[in-house]
Structure 1
């Protein structure tokens, strides 16, 4: 133990290669480094290529290093050439990544530890990877698991055995109630993650393995707010140490300039400045999910019928067909200056703008957190992964959004009606009041010493150093 006193904690951090994971992971790295911990932050080479192209920086953490933070930056191969299109067939890519990537990580971690024997290394890896526990065991590392989605989703996946025992692993009856998961209130089968819908689903099977492995983690960090999910987090703490430290990507440490956007961002300040306060609906389906051209068409026609101002982030690969022109013919010309179509933007900047009054979202957790941070009510259109479960939180638990339905039921008249209802209709005033309350809660969690996420993060640092035997 005496030998370890002079050694420094050194985190090896590896996130999933998707925007919703990268953003909070980068912020966590900055937060850990601000506590005097050395960081080696590892991106996939393909992710680095996108990030550096969008930010025009080779070393994404150069500004953080210049500010005095000890962050080393490294890249690692995923086994594919850079020109391989990983977005076109995401499930096929993920399947292959599961099979070949762990050996690359193992090799990288081994070389890093051997090159720096004076540090006390520990692993900070994404919860949804299946390999962290094995690699931590191979190198006798403390294993910190970071979950970037809400605690409700984590708990459901953590208790998959219960769902299987009750026959709810396969979503046969969408109206059936689930009321037996510790710390989780009653919910319907339709609110479960789409990856639990069929036994052959690669994502569902990999998540089952990942959440069996996470039960071996030393610490679990959550990018959520304790006050929003207190019952769920309290139940999880009976099994392992869990710490709600969110929204980590909006905490003070995250203000350090680091390239974290996978796409070049369009500046929308001038256009937003020309619109009245609260009059603009922001529309985005995130960086990964895909839907059909027919669904995109119905949403487009609904926006046209609503006569509401809108910004729509219509990125590449928005549909599974890979068609770059997914909007209806004549749509852009017909909506004129009332609508703005862009490939990507700084989302938190847009949501913070006074002109924005609502968000039509796929319910990715980062997007929902940023919307809550800005007090913006939502229209929820979940597509896949954990998005139906996040919708349940937004619509049923927190009452800060309305449900648009799903791909099978969405139609232009319904879209127009719900857009008008959110922006200026009967549901608007109540939701805005609730959104203001949630905004205060989310901001309060990270903005002052003594607040819940600040306290939880400080408690984690103390517990981590005790386990590393650092005074």
Structure 2
């Protein structure tokens, strides 16, 4: 899609007089990143001005740099409730009540957002055409609606995840959810309504009550149904069947415009400082020889799992790049690797606190990705043709894992208690076996389809045109 000059919309480069899109991401890395990538697409591809509202916690790094730009503004919401917002933020891992935290943040931000939106509309009422809101912020969306602002809902997960969320009430009505027991046989039950998912894949959080989950998902679906359109960071060749189910089930326009990270021109969105030296290390490794290990910005492990992971990587003899971010080990600010690990892996392994993941996954040396399977990580791996070892923990990660293993067949789940021999076998399977080579072949086929979809005439390119036309019609 060719870039459109800002002057085409009656304004200059400073954003004065240009149509303006308002945006509000959920303050988590996996939600901030696609929202800012979408903002970049609006600006660079359609010449739209953008105002990003953001919570007082996890403020985007771009906020300070862009604060003075007329066409790209950032507005802090709820500075006076920052401590309360910080207290609501989950600490990571399957023990956190994410559903409760999402609804708590949404409720906390409603009143301060109403005040912030009123001030912004006083300045930009003539040019503000709509608001893109994270679908987890239903309360924020309701405020915008009351102020007369049309809304679009951004889903930062895959289409497969939204289809599962849409089926949640039906499964509850049938008595499938909540499960009558935690019996292994029952949890492994296949869901006829949602192939290839099992009942266990719908257990989004071990600590959120069923009532909390049901309310959270109901509000998420209300956000989609009450919007003027749903935007998904995916592409048709990857999730065509589930995209059709969403269109038929929600009765609102659906825009599959991903992969956003391949369309955006690269606005920095990381909430953590990236260690760029790992790219220099990768330059010295052989093609497709390195296992990249990263469990995202929220998932965590205990100290025993850390030790078993470390020794499993040692025993595999495979080169690796391992991200161990601060607070990723439960009960410890700083991870302590076992004695002898550094000596045993010197020259073939590197540990960093955070990595430029997109650059890592596209690097010629990376041959596999051990991931928690958040949607951003899953999609980035797919789009660079990298097969996966999957270790999901919560939310949509189990759903994404099942699709990686059973639908796209580009990886496999690492199930059960983490143990070094299991890790050794899994790493060798992905990097060294014929089965791993076949997964890599299928992953590269999906990579090619992802490239095609964003080119002229491709499905995502066309969807962006349609989305921009919708916005300009408001």
TM-score, with structure 1 as normaliser: 0.88
CA contact (8 A) 2:107 2:139 kept: no
Pair 1:72-2:73 in alignment? yes
Cα displacement (A) at 1:201: 7.0
CA-to-aligned-CA distance 1:302-355 (integer Å, 9 cap, x gap): 111111110100001112313412433332232222211100111111111111
Q: How does 1:455-470 map to 2 (within 5 A)?
A: 455-466=462-473, 468=474
Aligned residues: 444
Corresponding residue of 2:366: 356
* 2:65 counterpart (31, 56, 59): 59
CA contact (8 A) 1:169 1:197 kept: no
Cα displacement (A) at 1:162: 1.0
Indicate the SS of the match to 2:19.
strand
CA contact (8 A) 2:55 2:109 kept: no
CA-to-aligned-CA distance 1:381-408 (integer Å, 9 cap, x gap): 1111110000011111000001111xx4
Corresponding residue of 2:332: 322
Change (3 A) 1:46 1:289: same
Cα displacement (A) at 1:82: 10
* 2:48 counterpart (18, 37, 54): 37
Q: Distance in 1 between matches of 2:465 and 2:403?
A: 27
Corresponding residue of 1:262: 271
CA contact (8 A) 2:294 2:371 kept: yes
Corresponding residue of 1:155: 163
* 1:207 counterpart (192, 209, 217): 217
CA contact (8 A) 1:226 1:233 kept: yes
Q: Distance in 1 between matches of 2:328 and 2:35?
A: 24
Indicate the SS of the match to 2:205.
helix
Indicate the SS of the match to 2:347.
helix
346-355 or 85-94: bigger deviation: 85-94
Cα displacement (A) at 1:115: 2.4
198-207 or 171-180: bigger deviation: 198-207
* 2:451 counterpart (413, 423, 443): 443
CA-to-aligned-CA distance 1:217-256 (integer Å, 9 cap, x gap): 11100001111111111122122111111011221xx115
Q: Distance in 1 between matches of 2:384 and 2:73?
A: 32
CA contact (8 A) 1:278 1:355 kept: yes
Corresponding residue of 1:249: 261
Q: Distance in 1 between matches of 2:463 and 2:41?
A: 13
Cα displacement (A) at 1:203: 5.3
Stretches of structure 1 that go unaligned for 5 or more consecutive residues are none
Query: What is the Cα-based RMSD across aligned positions, in Å?
Result: 2.5
Indicate the SS of the match to 2:58.
helix
Q: Distance in 1 between matches of 2:85 and 2:140?
A: 28
Corresponding residue of 2:319: 309
Q: Distance in 1 between matches of 2:31 and 2:262?
A: 14
Q: Distance in 2 between matches of 1:143 and 1:43?
A: 16
Indicate the SS of the match to 1:265.
coil
Q: Distance in 2 between matches of 1:190 and 1:295?
A: 22
Q: Distance in 2 between matches of 1:30 and 1:199?
A: 37
Cα displacement (A) at 1:151: 0.5
Q: Distance in 2 between matches of 1:174 and 1:211?
A: 25
Indicate the SS of the match to 1:301.
helix
Corresponding residue of 1:140: 148
Q: How does 1:377-392 map to 2 (within 5 A)?
A: 377-392=387-402
Q: Distance in 2 between matches of 1:310 and 1:274?
A: 12
Q: How does 1:106-185 map to 2 (within 5 A)?
A: 106-171=114-179, 172=181, 173-180=186-193, 184-185=194-195
CA contact (8 A) 2:431 2:437 kept: no
CA contact (8 A) 2:91 2:298 kept: no
Cα displacement (A) at 1:409: 2.5
CA-to-aligned-CA distance 1:79-112 (integer Å, 9 cap, x gap): 2249957463664754642331121212211221
Indicate the SS of the match to 2:421.
helix
Cα displacement (A) at 1:202: 4.5
Cα displacement (A) at 1:46: 2.8
CA-to-aligned-CA distance 1:352-398 (integer Å, 9 cap, x gap): 11111111000011111111121111100111111000001111100
Indicate the SS of the match to 1:98.
helix
Cα displacement (A) at 1:61: 6.8
CA-to-aligned-CA distance 1:412-466 (integer Å, 9 cap, x gap): 11110010010011312211110111111112111x1100001011112223333
CA contact (8 A) 2:66 2:73 kept: no
